Amino acid sequence: MTRSPAVRRLTGVALAATAVTGLTLTTAGPASAATNKNGNVESGEFGLYYNSNYAGCVFDLLNSDGNFSGDYFRSSTSSQTCPGQGQSTDNNTASYWNRDVTAWEVYTKAGRAGIEGYLPLGYYGNASVTFKNEISSAYYF
């Protein structure tokens, strides 16, 4: 099942609207859909890892995030822990995995500021010296 970027943008708007009301969002659609920030890099998401070589806890993004401040690395299950769990995602990423259907851009500062990095479809690898423990925002194309 593929999802177009347009559909995802609409989903992002819905999520933002929900957040404003203060309601707890428990599901974002069918059980098979990728879930934003659940500690599991599902198909259609971009994952940022606490450790190099895609190890440790992950920060998984289905939607763009313009400011990592206040976000944290998660375990994929509540019963297991992983390196970096609970630590802030801001300025803390060491490797990436792009499972999305679009490219992603990362920035060393919030709100598309600082140095820009481009991560094409299917890209996985360790962050370079420029980006390691420096990324503060990420956006899909």
SS3 11: helix
- Closest approach of Cβ 86 to Ca ion, in Å? 15
From the list 23-31, 39-47, 51-59, 91-99, the region that binds Ca ion by CB under 5 A is: 39-47
- Closest approach of Cβ 42 to Ca ion, in Å? 5
List the interface residues with Ca ion, window 54-93 (CB under 5 A).
60, 65, 67, 71
Query: Whose Cβ is closer to Ca ion: residue 65's or residue 134's?
Result: 65
- Yes or no: say if 36 and 44 are a contact pair by the CB < 8 Å rule: no
Adjacent-strand bridge partners of 115: none
- Yes or no: say if 95 and 123 are a contact pair by the CB < 8 Å rule: no
Of 92, 102, 99, 94, the C-alpha closest to 72 is 92
Residue from 28, 42, 72, 109 binding Ca ion (CB under 5 A): 42
- Closest approach of Cβ 139 to Ca ion, in Å? 12
